[in-house]
């Protein structure tokens, strides 16, 4: 009973793993990391097929020259496969070439054996060479598709027998060679897939940590500055407006002083959880530092930014924070928000946009906190000169 449960769990984990390897992000990374290696392997296979003329000569010197042209055709077919991969390892053309070329090479190989004296006896070992090269040729492909590519040559004897084709080959011996190569190769491919999946997962985790704030799991300051600059440059090219919100939790120091930093951390997470439902999918929110947050609003002018900022301010007020300890009081949190706007034609400077929103936030604090202030509402004489924001 217990063994059956473990088996079912094992099958489920395997099924989940194989589904995960079909993720577009995973396949794209696999194509980038392994694509060039597979292309090189295909080119080497083409060279090997031409060099097989020497093998044919060793088997039957008298008839080897008559089969040389078929070896050249095989090599050209594999070169065509390599050319198809130049458009993308997962392109439709590359997939068709991956399915058709191995079958074509196998059929011509069998034809060559039938033309050589004792070819079927001495040349059968060439099938194993095919399975030596095979995994490398399809290594960058999805696992299921790679197995299909390798399975088609194994199925060919059944089709040939059904169609009455023999090529002078003993299909029983041929099948023994084919399945002797196919089965272990599938397990090798599966093992490689598992190893690469672990590398991919670890790398994705490291990349996420590099751009994510550890406490709130939203973007960190460094990531925001880079992505914000890229988005702003695109808005400048398209002459679209954009806005930036600078959000600060009011009187946050008193929470840390009264209840401890662990409660302060929970309060920050509570604010983020309150704000996230109001952040559109196209926008970018990040923790700028301490209890400060920034939100880049794409294709949003001053009026739209003010409305979003006011909704955020009101949502924080409407969702008091309760710390997770015995007899914890309900802490009413408020935020002050500064708004700056990028107008079409302005200089696409993310540091300047942050500076203006920070100035507006300072004005919101001066006005008593728990309010929204736009940069345009600050009297010119009260504005501070802009200094570049550090990116480290």
Question: Quick one: pLDDT band at residue 209, thresholds 50, 70, 90?
Answer: confident
How much is the pLDDT for 87?
79
Lookup: tokens for 125 = 């070992």
**pLDDT, greater one: 28 or 123:** 28
How much is the pLDDT for 381?
61
Q: Is pLDDT above 80 for 163?
A: no
Are 146 and 189 in contact by the 8 Å Cβ rule? The answer is yes
Where do the structural domains in the chain lie, given as residue ranges? Answer: 2-209, 221-382
Are 312 and 334 in contact by the 8 Å Cβ rule? The answer is no
d(CA 306, CA 257): 32
How much is the pLDDT for 356?
94
Give the residue-averaged pLDDT of 181-195. Answer: 88
Site of tokens 């300051």: 221
Alpha carbon of residue 47 to chain centroid: 34
How much is the pLDDT for 373?
94
Q: Is pLDDT above 60 for 289?
A: yes
Q: Is pLDDT above 90 for 161?
A: no
d(CA 143, CA 190): 7
Question: Quick one: pLDDT band at residue 253, thresholds 50, 70, 90?
Answer: very high
Question: Quick one: pLDDT band at residue 3, thresholds 50, 70, 90?
Answer: very low
Question: Quick one: pLDDT band at residue 392, thresholds 50, 70, 90?
Answer: very low
Q: Is pLDDT above 70 for 387?
A: no
Lowest mean pLDDT among 126-135, 158-167, 282-291, 345-354: 158-167
221-382: CATH topology is Alpha-Beta Plaits (3.30.70)
Give the residue-averaged pLDDT of 78-106. Answer: 90
Among the listed residues 230, 233, 224, the one whose alpha carbon sits nearest the alpha carbon of residue 348:
233
Which range has the top average pLDDT, 105-119, 175-189, 360-374? 360-374
d(CA 296, CA 276): 13
How much is the pLDDT for 379?
54
d(CA 217, CA 200): 20
pLDDT tens by residue, 324-338: 766 667 889 999 999
pLDDT tens by residue, 33-79: 999 999 999 999 999 889 988 888 888 888 888 889 999 999 999 99
Q: Which pTM value belongs to this model?
A: 0.70
Other beta carbons within 10 angstroms of residue 74's beta carbon come to 24
pLDDT tens by residue, 335-354: 999 999 999 888 899 999 99
How much is the pLDDT for 17?
79
**pLDDT, greater one: 2 or 203:** 203
Give the residue-averaged pLDDT of 151-158. Answer: 77
CA distances from 246 to 106, 249, 338 (A): 66, 10, 5
Lookup: tokens for 236 = 């400048």
Are 247 and 365 in contact by the 8 Å Cβ rule? The answer is no
How much is the pLDDT for 165?
66
Task: State the chain's mean pLDDT as an integer.
Answer: 86
Question: Quick one: pLDDT band at residue 377, thresholds 50, 70, 90?
Answer: low
How much is the pLDDT for 46?
92
Q: Is pLDDT above 80 for 123?
A: no
φ/ψ of 349, rounded to 5, equals: -120, 105
Site of tokens 């060099």: 51
CA distances from 373 to 31, 88, 282 (A): 49, 50, 23
Give the residue-averaged pLDDT of 219-226. Answer: 94
Give the residue-averaged pLDDT of 103-121. Answer: 82
Alpha carbon of residue 209 to chain centroid: 15
How much is the pLDDT for 132?
78
The 3-class SS string of the chain reads CHHHHHHHHHHHHHHHHHHHCCCHHHHHHHHHHHHHHHHHHHHHHHHHHHHHHHHHHHHCHHHHHHHHHHHHHHHHHHHHHHHHHCCCCCCHHHHHHHHHHHHHHHHHHHHHHHHCCCHHHHCCCHHHHHHHHHHHHCCCCCHHHHHHHHHHHHHHHHHHHHHCCCCCCCHHHHHHHHHHHHHHHHHHHHHHHHHHHHHHHHHHHHHHHHHECCCCCCECHHHHHHHHHHHHHHHHHHCCCEEEEEEEECCHHHHHHHHCHHHHHHHHHHHHHHHHHHCCCCCEEEEEECCEEEEEEECCCHHHHHHHHHHHHHHHHHCCEECCCCCCCEECCCEEEEEEEECCCCCCCHHHHHHHHHHHHHHHHHCCCCCEEEHHHCCHHHCCCCCCCCCC
């Amino acid at each position: 009973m217990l063994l059956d449960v473990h088996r079912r769990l094992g099958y489920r984990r395997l099924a989940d793993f194989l589904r995960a390897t079909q993720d577009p992000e995973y396949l794209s990374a696999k194509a980038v990391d392994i694509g060039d290696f597979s292309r090189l392997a295909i080119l080497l296979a083409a060279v090997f097929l031409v060099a097989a003329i020497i093998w044919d000569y060793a088997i039957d010197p008298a008839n080897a020259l008559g089969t040389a042209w078929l070896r050249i055709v095989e090599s050209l077919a594999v070169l065509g496969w390599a050319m198809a991969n130049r458009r993308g390892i997962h392109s439709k053309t590359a997939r068709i070439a991956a399915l058709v070329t191995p079958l074509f090479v196998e059929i011509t190989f069998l034809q060559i054996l039938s033309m050589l004296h004792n070819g079927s006896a001495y040349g059968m070992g060439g099938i194993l060479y095919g399975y030596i090269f095979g995994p490398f040729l399809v290594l960058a492909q999805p696992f299921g598709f790679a197995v299909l590519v390798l399975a088609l040559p194994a199925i060919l004897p059944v089709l040939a027998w059904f169609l009455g084709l023999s090529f002078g080959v003993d299909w029983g011996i041929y099948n023994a060679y084919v399945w002797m190569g196919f089965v272990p190769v599938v397990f090798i491919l599966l093992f490689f897939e598992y190893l690469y999946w672990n590398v991919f997962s670890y790398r994705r985790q490291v990349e996420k940590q590099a751009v994510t704030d550890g406490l709130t799991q939203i973007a960190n300051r460094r990531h925001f500055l880079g992505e914000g600059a890229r988005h702003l440059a695109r808005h400048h090219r398209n002459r679209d407006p954009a806005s930036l919100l600078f959000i600060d939790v009011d009187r946050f120091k008193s929470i840390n002083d009264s209840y401890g930093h662990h409660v302060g951390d929970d309060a920050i997470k509570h604010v983020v959880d309150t704000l996230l439902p109001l952040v559109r999918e196209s926008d970018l929110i990040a923790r700028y530092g301490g209890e400060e947050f920034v939100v880049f609003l794409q294709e949003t002018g001053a009026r739209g930014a003010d409305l979003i900022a006011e909704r955020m301010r009101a949502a924080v007020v409407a969702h008091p924070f309760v710390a997770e300890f015995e007899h914890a009081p309900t802490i009413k949190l408020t935020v002050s928000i500064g708004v700056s706007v990028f107008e079409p034609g302005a200089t696409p400077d993310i540091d300047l946009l942050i500076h203006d929103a920070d100035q507006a936030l300072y004005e919101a604090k001066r006005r008593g906190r728990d309010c929204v202030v736009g940069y345009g509402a600050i009297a010119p004489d009260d504005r501070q000169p802009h200094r570049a924001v550090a990116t480290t």
